[in-house]
Structure 1
Amino acid sequence: MVGTLSGALEARQIPATPEKVKAKVQGIIEAPEGVLKITRINCHFELKIPTGKREAAERALSVFERSCPVAQTLKGSIQFAHTWELEEY
């Protein structure tokens, strides 16, 4: 997911180096039918973006999941939630 997001940021001329894009990912395990499985994944992104790129970064964050192979593979089986913090420099 971070790779796809990084590509979306780079396409908008926002640097996506490891020190500028960080993700904290948490899988939620439940047993809805008596069998343990991951039912939700919460992703929190911390991005450092150039001043004036907030709108472009928010657009990338709102659409990248549509092109993400992981998200598309798991779609319908696992719920994804995304949050983010943007720090301009």
Structure 2
Amino acid sequence: MIFKMKEVGFYTDLEYGELHVAGDEAYGFRPYQLLVSSIAVCSGGTLRKILEKKRMQVEDIAIHTEVERNEAQANRVEKIHLHYIIKGTDLNEQKIERSIEIASRNCPMAQSVKGSIEITETFEIIHE
């Protein structure tokens, strides 16, 4: 990727389109938003594949995130909590819990920040 400077922030051209990144939300996505998005979507996508392999009937997954940042240390991201809301039929709580553990170990983005950002995960099931 090549990032090019603009008046405020930077942008890059990707296959899907232009990505604008800036410290000010008026000019693009903020870097911490992209970091959290990468971890949440990677974890959720990995979880989805695992649940599909286990032949669980998942209709929808929503991921709510909470982020803790440390203002005293450059506003660094210290903790990300992912809360999965999984909607489907005949969903087994133990299988989902185990699947989340497996997904966490197999998500490249979560593994990339292991040891520097604490990631916690919870879930709830909505039965159809």
| TM superposition score normalised by structure 2 | 0.59
**RCO higher in structure (CA 8 A, sep ≥6):** 1
* Cα shift at 1:36: 1.6
- Equivalence for 2:104: 65
For the 8 Å contact 1:24–1:43, the answer to whether it is kept is yes
1:10-60 deviation line (CA, Å, top 9, x unaligned): 11112445xx1110112211135x322000001110001322533322221
- Equivalence for 1:55: 94
Equivalent-residue separation in structure 1 for 2:66 and 2:107 (angstroms): 17
- Equivalence for 1:23: 63
* Cα shift at 1:63: 2.2
| TM superposition score normalised by structure 1 | 0.82
1:86 maps to 2:125: yes
Runs of 4+ in 1 over 3 A off after TM superposition: none
RMSD over equivalenced CA pairs, Å: 1.8
Residues 51 and 41 from structure 1, CA distance in 2 versus in 1: closer, same or farther, beyond 3 angstroms?
same
* Cα shift at 1:76: 0.6
Pick one of 108, 111, 114 that aligns with 1:75.
114
Equivalent-residue separation in structure 2 for 1:64 and 1:51 (angstroms): 20
Q: Which runs of 5 or more residues in structure 2 are unaligned?
A: 1-42
Residues 65 and 52 from structure 1, CA distance in 2 versus in 1: closer, same or farther, beyond 3 angstroms?
closer
How many residues align? The count is 86
Equivalent-residue separation in structure 1 for 2:66 and 2:57 (angstroms): 25
The percent of aligned pairs where both chains have the same amino acid is 24
Equivalent-residue separation in structure 2 for 1:40 and 1:8 (angstroms): 24
For the 8 Å contact 2:91–2:125, the answer to whether it is kept is no
User: Which of 1 and 2 has greater Rg?
Assistant: 2
